Amino acid sequence: MSHETSSKPMYEQIFEALRDQIISRKYAPGERIPSEKELGEAYNVSRITSKKALEMLTQHGYIVRQPGRGSFVSEDFGSEGAAQGAMAQGAAKPRIHRDKPLIGLVMTDFGDSYGTGLIYGMEEASRQHDGYLVLRRSLGVVASEEEAIRGLLELGVDGLIIFPAQGEYFNAEILKLVIGQYPFVLLDRHLKGVSASSISTDNAAAAKRMIEYLFELGHTRISLMTPPPQDTTAIEDRIEGFIQAHAESGIAADRSLWMERITATLPAAFVPGNKEKEKENIKQHLREHPEITALFAMEYNIALLAYEAARESGLRVPEDLSIVCFDSPDYAGEPLFTHMRQKQEEMGRLAFENVLKLRNGESVPNKMLLDAELIVGSSSGPAREG
């Protein structure tokens, strides 16, 4: 097979080669064909690619895959070809062949401050690669995330981009994708100790830069405001950067100043009643810790709640209290928060392109980290005296 000069993905070339060998009776009905590993070695491709080729043969009725034994030419394969015989016996309906890639996207939610830019980058990349993007939101509910992944796989997408829900563990469907070597990319989080491609901001470095900026303004009593980390790597990395900045500057990070269980901004809880309760919690925290001169919010919506709580408490921003965060809409009006701007569009573009590379059997970096940019807004200023 002249795969070096073909423009088709390698898995399609392998599929066509094996299909022709089955039709020509090189492999007879009931005979075992090469395994994923054997095909990978023969064609010098990854097991993801050879697995995809075998899946296509199964979908078109040429072979039957038996767990623990291997792949065998369908017994129903007649002299006229496999597909008609297998379909007549009720084999699974083959997926319609497409020249245009279809990539599924599962994400918690999106908004002006974070998420919309990711989708914009993916959609632009899909246009450039003559493909399409299918979106389902999970709203941070793990069961909905699992259902969305299963549904997109049943739809026949060629790969997945997943922005996982926060939680102590990744859902079982994501782990199945890892085990099955399915082409997918994680956004904003990575799997600890597991080989799965991910793209995110260098959150530790970005948080460290943000805190160093506050130190430059004279702030040393800084409150960290975050949802429960729950093994969410993006949050964990930002906390690590916060602590590292303090350690390197010789300033004690007083954990009693932190608020670590802010839940009102999570997708499934972001409703007026919860936000009002959270604002009251922030007001109480500020009353109990009048020494705080700056708040470091993990995300824009937390910063916005803190800003409203501070103003309602009679505190001026930034004269009495500086507030900084990750991401902030440019057109949000007052205040434009001082924030770390993530490269959302680039992240989205890279995610789409990396899924296409994995689909075609190419290798991609296991973990990609992008820099963030410090944007100084109107919500930060020199620490107040006393």
Could you state, in order of their start, the residue ranges of all structural domains in the chain?
10-88, 102-200+344-370, 203-343
Residue-level pLDDT at 244: 98
Task: Count other C-beta atoms under 10 Å from residue 88's C-beta.
Answer: 11
- Fold of the domain built from segment(s) 102-200+344-370: Rossmann fold (3.40.50)
* 240 has pLDDT over 90: yes
The model's pTM is 0.73
Residue ranges with strand state E in the chain: 32-33, 63-66, 70-73, 102-107, 132-137, 159-163, 184-187, 198-201, 222-225, 294-297, 322-326, 338-341, 367-370, 373-375
Q: Is the pLDDT of residue 130 over 50?
A: yes
Q: Tell me the residue length of the chain.
A: 386
DSSP letter string, 135-167: EEE-TT-HHHHHHHHHHHHHHT-SEEEEEPPPS
What is the per-residue pLDDT across 294-329, written as a single tens digit (0 to 9) for each? 999 999 999 999 999 999 999 999 999 999 999 998
Q: pLDDT band at 23, cuts 50/70/90? A: confident
What's the pLDDT at 67?
A: 66
pLDDT of residue 269: 67
Q: Are 10-88 and 203-343 the same fold in CATH?
A: no
pLDDT per position as a tens digit, 149-197 = 999 998 889 999 999 887 655 678 888 888 788 999 999 888 776 778 9
Residue 123 has pLDDT above 60, yes or no: yes
Q: What integer best gives the mean pLDDT of the chain?
A: 86
CATH number of 10-88: 1.10.10.10
Handedness of CA 23, 27, 29, 33 (dihedral sign): negative
**Under a CB-based contact definition with an 8 Å cutoff, are residues 136 and 152 in contact?**
yes
Q: Which two tokens stand for residue 81?
A: 């070809």
CATH of 203-343, one of 3.40.50.300, 3.40.50.150, 3.40.50.2300, 3.30.1540.10: 3.40.50.2300
pLDDT confidence of residue 381: 97
Give helix 10-23 / helix 47-59 axis angle, nearest 10°.
50
pLDDT value for 268: 65
Which of 331, 292, 332, 328 has its CA nearest to residue 310? 292
- Other Cβ atoms closer than 10 A to 297: 27
Q: Residues of the chain with pLDDT > 90: what percent?
A: 53
Higher-confidence position of 320 and 334:
320
Query: Per residue in 195-233, pLDDT tens?
Result: 789 999 999 999 999 999 999 999 999 999 998 876 578
Report CA torsion sign: 15, 16, 22, 23. positive
* Residue 186 β-bridge partners: 162, 198
Q: How confident is the model at residue 49 (pLDDT cuts 50, 70, 90)?
A: confident
**Structure token digits, residue 142:** 């793990």
